[in-house]
Amino acid sequence: ENYWVYMDITEGAYGGRYGKDGLDCVDTLYANTRNNPIEDIESHYPLRLQRYELREDECGAGKWRGGLGSIRDVMCTDDGRMCLEGDGHKFPPWGIFGGEEGTPGALILNPGTNEASLPSKISDRRTKTGDTFRTVSPCGGGYGSPLERDVGAVLDDVIDGFISRKSAEKYGVIITDNLEIDETGTAKLRAKLKNLQ
């Protein structure tokens, strides 16, 4: 009988820090580990990666925003067993100095079909062919008031798909359908939001 062992680290994120946004999709616990390409994983193991992407619109807003975590859906193409050691599934990473909270992580069995939330730590669980596990890593909290973020940086985040145009309004920034900054609307919104603080 053939045996196989697959070990991987789901990439999380750092919170915003003075002068810089939080790091996106990085290993936050271990060092010197590689981010295996999907094709490499699928060619060596009875696994199929159906989704692997950054978490959009989930980072903590701030003068320097929190980093983006990742979402990965791994489907088992053979029976097996799994264990998992995760963290950050209950409480969101905090923001600091006026920055907003990030978002917690999650582990979901069979997303979309007989979906079930699983705990962040599993010592041994049997898996069946067709089981899909979604790992959702936390997104970092923001540093400083979102209303102090450079409007150009907010626009860049929208263009890159990190945040939505709606979320740009947390920063007091109005972005047009043509992905440009509405200077007048932005000035008014930022003034209004500052008065509410």
pLDDT of residue 31: 65
Other CB atoms closer than 10 Å to residue 139's CB: what's the count? 34
End-to-end Cα separation, the chain, in angstroms: 65
pLDDT of residue 3: 82
Burial of residue 108, with CB atoms counted within 10 A of its CB: 0-12 exposed, 13-18 middle, 19 or more buried: middle
pLDDT of residue 29: 67
pLDDT of residue 28: 65
pLDDT of residue 27: 78
Q: What is the pLDDT of residues 21-48, one digit of tens each?
A: 999 988 766 666 667 889 999 999 999 9
Please identify every stretch of the chain with a pLDDT value under 70, giving residue numbers as ranges.
Answer: 1, 28-34
Contact 47, 154 (CB under 8 A): no
d(CA 103, CA 152): 24
pLDDT of residue 152: 97
d(CA 93, CA 89): 10
Contact 149, 62 (CB under 8 A): yes
Contact 134, 159 (CB under 8 A): no
pLDDT of residue 176: 96
